[in-house]
Amino acid sequence: METIRQQLITDLSGAKTPQDVENARVKYLGRKGLITLAAKETDFSKLTAEEKKSFGSRLNELKNFAAEQLAAAAESAKQFGAAVGGTRKLDLTVPGLSRRLGALHPITTTLVELHQIFQGMGFMVLQGPDIETEYYNFESLNIPNDHPARDMQDTFWLTNGMVMKTHTSANQVRALERFGAPIRAIFPGRCFRYEAMDASHENTFYQCEGLVVDKNISVANLIAVMKTLLGEVFHREVKVRLRPGFFPFVEPGFELDLNCLICGGTGCPTCKESGWIELIPCGLIHPRVLEYGKIDPNEYSGFAFGLGLTRLAMMKYGVRDIRLFNSGDVRFYEQFVAVM
């Protein structure tokens, strides 16, 4: 019976037209079908009452299974016929006819992938609040009240004086206070900025902060981790460039740019026609930030980076417009098959 069951599955997986399905029905459930014969040709007089019962119930089960499978196959053969038959030509861009299983949001898939890559390098994954105090979002990052760097991040202020966190760096000192040194952690999270929206700017987007503090940490460690990260994410060699960048909480600070994977570097709206995408601002942690985190900068050093996670997903999946991620447009989400 098990052999028959397997054979039926194989036959039906190759059945395309209603005729194929009908042939299979005759082969298994017809008057001389395999399942029908299995019942007829068994000499029940030789079986004990116990055996009769078990054989009978297994046979019934197989019959029901076959009937169900045949009905399902007949239905999809009919749909397939409707799609490719008639006067319409076969359009290979039409989505498949299989049951809609849904898919993970591309940001979620990217997040899970980052978790795996960084956990493989010994990083913890932490999460901080979305609504932050001014202290953690700015002050503790060496951005005092009157510092012009606050203007770089158009902030949503709440009426109680708190802010919607403008960057995941807001969690840096929280992590240091909580876990001390040495530490290796990433903290992905949503960030909010009062931005004019266009193809590459959203008011709500994801970053993934990374933080490493230990003895003798240098820029070489930073570059090695960034290279491992990008190699794993894109499964190929990508071109990057490092240029100086200013952030009050790192010294020295860098911008790590990725050669635009949408246009291949020739220039497009996503990379603002420059051929490069600012992907990972990073640098060595400013001694003052370590001090805010109660860590002795004479003993420890570290690096931090603020990966643009939404941008990374854009590069990875070739999404040209950042606004699609939060659009709620099913036609966009449906294109992502969950491969994990």
* Binding residues for ligand PHE (CB under 6 A): 167, 169, 247, 250, 253, 281-283, 304-306
Would you say 28 or 247 has its CB closer to ligand PHE?
Answer: 247
> What phi and psi values does residue 151 have, to the nearest 5 degrees?
-70, -20
Tokens of 249: 């909480």
Would you say 106 or 283 has its CB closer to ligand PHE?
Answer: 283
Distance from C-alpha of 270 to C-alpha of 311, rounded to nearest angstrom: 9
Would you say 69 or 310 has its CB closer to ligand PHE?
Answer: 310
- Provide the sign of the torsion angle of the four alpha carbons 124, 125, 131, 134, taken in this order: positive
Question: How near is the Cβ of 231 to ligand PHE at its closest, in Å?
Answer: 21
Question: How near is the Cβ of 16 to ligand PHE at its closest, in Å?
Answer: 53
207, 189 Cβ separation under 8 angstroms: yes
Question: How near is the Cβ of 200 to ligand PHE at its closest, in Å?
Answer: 14
Residue, CB closest to ligand PHE:
306
Say how far residue 303 (Cα) sits from the centre of its chain: 25
Phi-psi region of 240 (alpha: psi -120 to 50; beta: other; left: phi over 0): beta
Alpha-carbon distances of 240 from 49, 220, 275, 280, rounded to whole Å: 76, 15, 11, 10
Question: How near is the Cβ of 263 to ligand PHE at its closest, in Å?
Answer: 24
Question: How near is the Cβ of 285 to ligand PHE at its closest, in Å?
Answer: 8
Would you say 281 or 293 has its CB closer to ligand PHE?
Answer: 281
Would you say 167 or 311 has its CB closer to ligand PHE?
Answer: 167
- What amino acid occupies position 183? I
